[in-house]
Amino acid sequence: MLGEIFSDYTLRTVSIGSAVVGACGAVIGSFAVLRRQSLVGDALTHSALPGIVLAFIVTGSKDISVLLTGAFISAFIGAAFMRFIIKNTQIKEDTSLGIVLSVFFGLGIVLLTYVQKQPDATQAGLETFLFGQAATIMQRDVVFMSVVMLVILGVVFTFWKEFKLLVFDAEYGQSSGFNMRYMDILLTVLMVLAIVLGLQTVGVVLMSAMVVAPAASARQWTDKMGIMVLLSAVFGAFSAVIGAVVSSLYTKLPTGPVIVVVLSSVVFVSLVLSPRRGIFWQLVKYEKNKRALRLEATLAALRELSMQHEDKCHGHEECVLRVMKSEGAPLGKTLRLLSQKGWATEVTRGKWAITEEGLKEADKFLHLIKDNNQ
């Protein structure tokens, strides 16, 4: 299939276009996710719809740059309106997101049904913006997309330091003499740009996932902002290409949903398997700690018992140990582990005693505990 991508003209165009879209959304998404604004993307994409249809009604053109300009303007108005509501009323952020999202989208649907009622059929294809159709990407679209991508990456690169401040400590940034309000607006403009770029491929409804998912996955693999942004771009581009190619190969398969499913698997793998943070490794670590604690508790119990007897090799019943440890954990397994390490021996069947080495070991960690208490 890889060979096909490079030989087939349409597939090549579609994959390059989708990669650009995926990378842009993912880069800007990193900032959005870290700023807890993951759902802003959702509201912005939905509010782009009336712009697309209005641009078509006004110009009569279906040129992608014209439609996306309309989308950009209307999404930007949506963003401004959202801020205006939050600033001037007691309405919370999530509600203002919901208002802008649903009302703008409703307006878009109204305009779309209005256009569809017109007698000529030139409007056909506008509704592919809902779920995206990567197969409609042409070569000149790719050129346009790449230019926008270069602009976005250029701005991010130029204002890297300022954006980082905005994300992690806006107040400090403000007091160091950077105008954080302008940076915030600039980042919003970039987000609108990145989102608008993806409307053709991923669609209005699911573009928000393109913003959130790669960044959320990348976050699991690193604690460095720079690496996170790069990784996020790679995840975004990779998933977008796979999704676009798969949906191009089958009929009646909208691109957006396929990309989202691919992205979701990336997220799943990242959440479960990423080293240190991943759920799987967390569980492994938890089990390991639990076993170490069990060993120490049993060893401590054996040590205490041995103190009460002159004969160090006096064996003790398992049931005594069980009571002393006061937990239902598998005692037999723990004892076997202890004897493997040479810290305890089974004197007679079912009776256990601590060894010299075990005593040393127990002193070591009991001493440690004492130190900590002091």
CB 96 within 8 A of CB 86: yes
Measure the CA–CA gap between 358 and 340, rounded to whole angstroms: 11
| Minimum distance, C-beta of residue 326 to other proteins, in the bound complex (Å) | 29
Residue 265 to residues 107, 199, 273, 274, Cα–Cα distance (Å): 34, 22, 12, 13
Kindly report the backbone phi and psi dihedral angles of residue 222, in degrees, each rounded to the nearest multiple of 5, phi listed first: -155, 160
| Minimum distance, C-beta of residue 197 to other proteins, in the bound complex (Å) | 18
Tell whether residue 51 is a contact of other proteins (CB under 8 A).
no
Tell whether residue 213 is a contact of other proteins (CB under 8 A).
yes
Out of 39, 186, 234, 324, the only residue in the binding site for other proteins (CB under 8 A) is 39
Kindly report the backbone phi and psi dihedral angles of residue 262, in degrees, each rounded to the nearest multiple of 5, phi listed first: -60, -45
Strand residues in the chain grouped as ranges (E) = 316-317, 344-348, 351-354
Alpha helices by DSSP H, listed for 133-221, are 139-158, 160-168, 170-175, 180-198, 207-221
| Minimum distance, C-beta of residue 314 to other proteins, in the bound complex (Å) | 48
Q: Which stretch binds other proteins (CB under 8 A): 221-229, 230-238, 251-259, 285-293?
A: 251-259
Pattern 136-175, other proteins, x by CB under 8 A: ----------------------------------------
Out of 15, 201, 208, 239, the only residue in the binding site for other proteins (CB under 8 A) is 208
- Alpha carbon 332 to its chain centroid, in Å, reads 43
CB 246 within 8 A of CB 258: yes
Tell whether residue 349 is a contact of other proteins (CB under 8 A).
no
Out of 59, 60, 61, 91, the only residue in the binding site for other proteins (CB under 8 A) is 91
| Residues of this chain that bind other proteins (CB under 8 A) | 33, 36-39, 41-42, 46, 85, 88-92, 94-99, 101-103, 105-110, 112-114, 117, 127, 130-131, 205-206, 208-209, 211-213, 215-216, 219-220, 250, 252-254, 256-258, 260-261, 264, 267, 271, 277, 279, 282
